[in-house]
Structure 1
């Protein structure tokens, strides 16, 4: 069957799915579940005969949203937060996984730009970080404490101030998605270049490991969280630029809803990073290297697992569950 004829034959059924998704409450979830099985068959057919068509992407996204609607309606989960972090967010992360790839790739390129620029221009670090910060840090290095700047103030005050600042940066990266993702890209570019030049500056001074102990104890979750929030900004921007089969307004509402959920999921990690910076980082100079390595790679493994690996596991388990039913 030609693709045009296939679309014409099933268009009304798919529109029925879209209307069902837009409803706040499903009156007959069993009927929607029956239609969902038909959608899975349509998706399998399209993947077989129209592999490179946008129809496959459309049907796959539609299947994910319909299943989430059915699962949400039928679930007996008593704890909303458990369901939110355990199922809903991972499914969204899987659905939008390519935007995570875009955000991390863009950020890593920005970091590389910062490193290369700092290595080839002695004035670049001062341009990015400011003379006051560079001079103060050089003085701290001479005093044998490269990351003394992270030890000023009280534990509680540092924790609150740092957490709110990190939340502000992440929310800014997300909110700028309304510019079609351009503003989000700027925030990621700015922070990536700053990080790259910052780390090269410490390497140039011969204190890279001492600085890494003081920075990445909290930075693993902090930086990772900002990039995830940047991915949410790209999702929001894409919902405006590429509405697909939806009206631009409907697409924007869907993008806003999904991206906000992803941003909210980063809050526990951002708060955790603020806690580590306020209460643990200040002891980095006296901390055994092994303990520092465990904290750094432990926090990095935790957040990486949740955002990069766990979504695939959830998708695989739910797909197996669908096939069994």
Structure 2
């Protein structure tokens, strides 16, 4: 059968299926499972005869969303929170992995712009960070502690204030996705530019590794989380700009919901980064270097595994259960 005929033959059924998933009349898990069998059959047929077709992408997307809806309401799933972090978020990340890639590409490009700008303009860091902060940092460098700023305030006060601020920044970055993702990209640009310029500032004064030993104890999870939150904003924006076969409103809702779940998943990492910044970073200069390096590599590996490796493991597990790939 030619693909056009295949689409024409099943179009009405697929539209009804969309309505069952996204419409107001909700189906129970058993009804969804029954519909899901028909969808899997159509997907298998399309994968066999039209492997590079957009029809496969469309049916694959419907199948993945239905799978999530069925399994998140299964009776044996007793802990909704465990399911959220163990299965739901990784599947969403895998499904939207290209936006994670875009966010990281933008981060490194913007970071490079910050470094190059600081290299070629001595006043750039002051423009970005402000004179007071730069002067204070210069004084700390002269005193032999480049990251002494992290010793200011109490442990709990610093940890709480920093965590709250980072949560606000992450949510703001995501919400700015409402402007088609361009608002999110601008927020990422500002933060990445600042980071690149500030790290070059330390490099220029010969204390780069001292700054890394301090800043990246908490920064590994904080900065990585910032990029993932930007990816969530891009997903939200893409839902507005590229509705595909859905209405723009439905696509926007899907993008918002998926992006928000990813943002919520970063919050434990944001909290952990805040605790590290408030309780550990201030002691970085006095730590054995091997301990500095261990904390940095451990935290970076932990968050990298969850967002860059684990989604592929979850998806492979689903494939082995004879569920279509997302």
TM class, shorter-length: over 0.9
Q: Which SS does the other structure have where 2:173 is aligned?
A: helix
Partner of 1:3: 3
Change (3 A) 1:275 1:3: same
Please give the alpha-carbon distance, in whole angstroms, between the structure 1 residues aligned to 2:212 and 2:27: 55
Please give the alpha-carbon distance, in whole angstroms, between the structure 2 residues aligned to 1:15 and 1:60: 14
Please give the alpha-carbon distance, in whole angstroms, between the structure 2 residues aligned to 1:154 and 1:32: 53
Q: Does 1:260 align with 2:266?
A: no
Unaligned runs of at least 5 residues, structure 1: none
Q: Which SS does the other structure have where 1:74 is aligned?
A: coil
Partner of 2:83: 83
Partner of 2:183: 183
Please give the alpha-carbon distance, in whole angstroms, between the structure 2 residues aligned to 1:207 and 1:48: 59
TM-score by length of 2: 0.95
Partner of 2:248: 248
Asked if the contact 1:176–1:183 (Cα under 8 Å) also holds between the matched residues in 2, the reply is yes
Asked if the contact 1:26–1:73 (Cα under 8 Å) also holds between the matched residues in 2, the reply is no
Change (3 A) 1:28 1:190: closer
Question: What's the CA shift for 1:115?
Answer: 1.1
Question: What's the CA shift for 1:322?
Answer: 3.0
Partner of 2:155: 155
Please give the alpha-carbon distance, in whole angstroms, between the structure 2 residues aligned to 1:25 and 1:212: 54
Partner of 2:43: 43
Please give the alpha-carbon distance, in whole angstroms, between the structure 2 residues aligned to 1:47 and 1:196: 45
Asked if the contact 1:174–1:229 (Cα under 8 Å) also holds between the matched residues in 2, the reply is yes
Partner of 2:202: 202
TM-score by length of 1: 0.95
Q: Which SS does the other structure have where 2:286 is aligned?
A: coil
Q: Which SS does the other structure have where 1:313 is aligned?
A: helix
Asked if the contact 1:177–1:183 (Cα under 8 Å) also holds between the matched residues in 2, the reply is yes
Question: What's the CA shift for 1:255?
Answer: 1.3
Change (3 A) 1:173 1:39: same
Question: What's the CA shift for 1:119?
Answer: 1.4
Please give the alpha-carbon distance, in whole angstroms, between the structure 2 residues aligned to 1:211 and 1:147: 6
Partner of 1:321: 321
Please report the RMSD computed on the Cα atoms of aligned residues, expressed in angstroms: 1.7
Partner of 1:105: 105
Question: What's the CA shift for 1:75?
Answer: 4.4
Please give the alpha-carbon distance, in whole angstroms, between the structure 1 residues aligned to 2:133 and 2:33: 59
Partner of 1:133: 133
- Please say which of residues 269-278 and 309-318 is displaced more in the overlay: 309-318
Q: Which SS does the other structure have where 1:145 is aligned?
A: coil
Asked if the contact 1:17–1:66 (Cα under 8 Å) also holds between the matched residues in 2, the reply is no
Please give the alpha-carbon distance, in whole angstroms, between the structure 2 residues aligned to 1:214 and 1:198: 13
Please give the alpha-carbon distance, in whole angstroms, between the structure 2 residues aligned to 1:176 and 1:317: 34
Unaligned runs of at least 5 residues, structure 2: none
Question: What's the CA shift for 1:17?
Answer: 2.2
Please give the alpha-carbon distance, in whole angstroms, between the structure 2 residues aligned to 1:301 and 1:2: 48
How many equivalent pairs are there?
324
Please give the alpha-carbon distance, in whole angstroms, between the structure 1 residues aligned to 2:24 and 2:287: 52
Q: Which SS does the other structure have where 1:194 is aligned?
A: helix
